[in-house]
Amino acid sequence: MGEIEHSTEVEHAPAVWSLRDVLPQDSTPWYKQRHLLLLNLSMVIPYLSSTTNGYDGSMLNGLQSMVQWQNSFDHPTGTRLGSLSNGVIFGQILAFPIAPWLCDHMGRRFPIFIGSLLLVIGAVLQCAAQNYAMFLVSRMIIGFGGLIAVEASPMLVTELAYPTHRGVLTAYYNSLWYLGALLAAWTTYGTYFMGTHTSWAWRIPSLLQGFFPLLQVLFVYLIPESPRYLVQRDRYDDARKILTKYHAAGNPSSPLVDFEMKEITLSIETAKSTSGTGYLEFLKSAGNKHRLFIIIMVPCMMQLSGNGLIAYYLHLILNSIGFTSDPQQLRINGGLTIFNLFVSLAMASLMDLAGRRRLFLFSTTGMLACYVVWTVLSAVNEQRGFADTSLGTGVVVMIFLYQFAYNAGMNAVPWVYVTEVLPTHLRAKGTNVMQIAATCALVFNGYANPVAMEAISWRYYIVYCCVIAVEVAVVWFAFPETKGRSLEEVAVLFDGEGAFGGVSAEGKKGVEDLEKV
């Protein structure tokens, strides 16, 4: 559709700026409304990107506790082990220039398709690995494809979801990380008992990493494209058709669809007329600088809060407190993933009730308290020569409590928050910046954590106590609340009334109304 038709779209949209005013007054639960049920179930496909990511982290953790894998790769330690952990990251680095371009020019579904296809190929090569180098290369392919799929998936969920479901549905995205972690943990536990001399004990979990990406390859084109991407590409009719079908049960005169189309169009057109879409836009206004700070801080908080030790080096932690049995470590890893999955889903369900900022604060203060106690218990346990098993058990309890606090804010909230603070025209590039920051943090985790744990043991925890204390202050002073606002109206928190360009009078009323929703 051309520019003339687009102008008509804006002119004839109703002068209604309150989301509450246009929502259907229907008490029927969403799961009894076919269009919403189909829409929400379709989110499972992009969710699988997170599930695959979780499978990878837990699988490598489980493999490190398997004598079969250790024998196959000559018991890697230090930087050699760190390179295997960072093999995925090396692949992600190569994908950084490609992923946002694909999202901006090819939509959200194609990147999920091509990224998942590469993941399937990487999983097959990982299973067939004959030596250290081949295993490392396969993990680089997995990282390359995984980053492309991961960048597009939460954007598709956020931009496609029904307005009142967006927060919770996006929060579930990262929560499903633990479903993959759970499956990997118990798969490696089961295959461990195949025998100490069979490489299939680690090859089977490696091959199964390609199962969820295969489902995405097969089914991703059965779900609709992002209407915001379509508007950005001037495909207004296609965007309206999707919103009409999935948000309004096929009603072509739905006030909700009119409202959404007007808000999306005004936001994107204002951005086109007042700013560009390159990375330098993050440095051209106070609001965008604030956004840049947030999208760098959030992934750093996700990866540098001590969770990297648990995610990739749990076996080193357990060794440091005297829990050295392979089956024992695998059971703890499996139990932790079950706990994490249920806690994360529960916290995600509270997203719109508690708000984003409050969950961040609860998470950071809780993690700090747990890490302090964890550090003290580990120190005393070492001084007593690991003879007091109750201290070791206390550390395990602190790990579980820490994970509870972590999941409250660092698992369910980040993707919701980052996609909300970024405007549509910068969302793909902002998400890429987030991934780059996360990768830098993961590189640190991959190399520094195993070396530091082997060198200074529990004393390394003190570093994370200090880091988490800084995070508490950052959230308190720099993270605004975005609860109760549409994607477009969040821009007002950063850009003021100018976020709506030439419709400032109407926009002002809209901001006031949305704050009451």
Using an 8 Å Cβ cutoff, are 354 and 348 in contact? no
Mean pLDDT of the chain: 82
pLDDT at 12 (0 to 100): 43
CA distances from 328 to 62, 72, 79, 460 (A): 11, 21, 26, 24
pLDDT at 506 (0 to 100): 42
Written as six digits, the tokens of 80 are 């050699």
Mean pLDDT of 487-512: 59
Mean pLDDT of 167-177: 87
259: Cα separation from own chain's centroid: 29
pLDDT at 420 (0 to 100): 87
pLDDT at 265 (0 to 100): 87
Residue 198 pLDDT > 90: no
CA separation for the pair 54, 181 (Å, rounded): 5
Smallest CA-to-CA distance from 85 within 67, 123, 121, 59 is with 59
Summarised one tens digit per residue, pLDDT across range 125-164 is 999 988 888 999 999 999 999 999 999 999 999 999 998 8
For residue 329, what pLDDT band results from cuts at 50, 70 and 90?
confident
Calculate Rg over the CA atoms of the chain.
24
Mean pLDDT of 49-57: 89
Q: Which of 72-81, 226-235, 263-272 has the highest mean pLDDT?
A: 226-235
The DSSP line for 32-65 is GSHHHHHHHHHTHHHHHHHHHHHHHHHHHHHHHT
CA separation for the pair 223, 266 (Å, rounded): 26
Using an 8 Å Cβ cutoff, are 301 and 364 in contact? yes
Mean pLDDT of 203-216: 95
HEC secondary structure over 159-193: HHCCHHHHHHHHHHHHHCHHHHHHHHHHHHHHHHC
Residue 293 belongs to what H/E stretch?
Answer: helix 286-303
**Segments making up each domain of the chain, as ranges:** 33-223+275-483
Looking up tokens 């309150």, which residue turns up?
A: 18
pLDDT at 438 (0 to 100): 86
Question: Roughly what angle, to the nearest 10 degrees, separates helices 200-208 and 44-64?
Answer: 160
- Of the CA atoms within 13 Å of residue 437, those in its CB half-sphere come to 20
Q: Greater confidence, 445 or 205?
A: 205
Phi–psi pair at 384, nearest 5 degrees: -95, 10
Fold for 33-223+275-483, please state it: Growth Hormone; Chain: A; (1.20.1250)
For residue 246, what pLDDT band results from cuts at 50, 70 and 90?
very high
pLDDT at 8 (0 to 100): 41
CA distances from 19 to 10, 240, 279, 472 (A): 17, 17, 31, 33
Residue 301 pLDDT > 50: yes
Residues 6+ apart with CB under 8 A from 38: 246
Q: Where are the alpha helices (DSSP H) in 73-108?
A: 78-95, 99-106
380: Cα separation from own chain's centroid: 36
